[in-house]
Structure 1
Amino acid sequence: MVHNDTEVKKEDSTLTPEPSETNENTSVKIETKQQVKEASSREERKKDELKKPRIRILPIWLRLIFVLLLFAAALAGGLAVGYGMVGDGNMMDVFEKETWLHIIDLVKKDLQ
């Protein structure tokens, strides 16, 4: 009869999972819970970032004015260098009205 009890115990032990299997399964569950927590915390951080208004050092309208001023300065510098150094004229003559009237007259004369 003792023999039968040990057989029953052997059968019971095969039906229940080993402790190492249980630990592996629970560790997988913990990892997935941690991943879910991390994902939700990332989403919350993104939402917080979207909710916070961004404070700009320079407003957009001031940036546009700054870009336009840089464009005008680059144009003036290019005209002065082109007329003064490449064209062998005085660099400041490019900003006089008579110079541009003369250039326009030359272009119109060639077209006729």
Structure 2
Amino acid sequence: MGTNEKLHNKPKVSPETRKVARAARQVAQKAERLAPKKTDEEQKPLFNPFFGYKKRRFPIWQRLIVLTALCAIAFVAGTMLGYGGLGHRSPWAIFEPATWQHIFDFLKTD
């Protein structure tokens, strides 16, 4: 038997199996019809009227603010660690303008 014959020769389903499946489907549909109806609040989740998405727990604008704040905190912590810990200087010196002027002068050197 070739591979095409295996794909195209579907097993025969007996009529009894079809009747059993049909009866089970009808019983499930009847049970669904007889189930108690859900109230409007249970049935309708909150949706965005423009796109049909569910309402987010944290909106995008709040996520952007948190992301910006976390980036700023990481920048300050990284500069304090780099200048103070690796540079063997005071970590609080990064808040002085003279320190930043020295860093920019060092980077702009030709």
Relative to the length of structure 2, the TM-score reads 0.55
- Number of residue pairs the alignment of both structures matches: 78
Measured in 2, the distance between the counterparts of 1:73 and 1:22 equals: 70
Partners in 1 of 2:94 and 2:26 — Cα distance? 72
1:30 paired residue among 23, 33, 55: 23
Q: Give the equivalent residue in structure 2 for 1:10.
A: none
Deviations 1:69-95 (A, max 9, x none): 000000100000000000001101112
* Residue 11 (structure 2) aligns with: none
What percentage of residue pairs aligned between the two structures are identical? 29
Provide the rounded CA distance (Å) in 1 between the counterparts of 2:96 and 2:58.
35
In structure 2, the CA distance between the partners of 1:94 and 1:33, relative to structure 1 (3 Å rule), is same
Residue 89 (structure 2) pairs with residue 81 (structure 1): no
CA distance in 2, matches of 1:98, 1:85: 19
The answer (yes or no) to whether the contact 2:83–2:94 under 8 Å persists in 1 is yes
C-alpha root-mean-square deviation of aligned residues, in Å?
Answer: 2.9
**Which structure has more helix as a fraction of its residues?**
1
Deviations, residues 6-60 of structure 1 (Å, cap 9, x unaligned): xxxxxxxxxxxxxxx875442132246578x5xxxxxxxxxx78x7413333221
Evaluate the alpha carbon distance shift between residue 34 and residue 69 of structure 1 in structure 2; reply closer, same or farther with a 3 A threshold: farther
Classify the secondary structure of the residue corresponding to 2:64.
helix
For 2:33, the equivalent position in structure 1 comes to none
**Alpha carbons of structure 1 residues 90 and 52: separation in structure 2 relative to 1, 3 Å:** same
What is the Cα deviation at residue 102 of structure 1?
A: 1.1
TM-score normalised by length of structure 1: 0.55
Residue 34 and residue 94 in structure 1: after superposition, are their counterparts in 2 closer, same or farther (change >3 A)? farther
Q: Residue 28 and residue 68 in structure 1: after superposition, are their counterparts in 2 closer, same or farther (change >3 A)?
A: same
The 1:103–1:25 alpha-carbon spacing in structure 2 relative to 1, beyond 3 Å, is closer
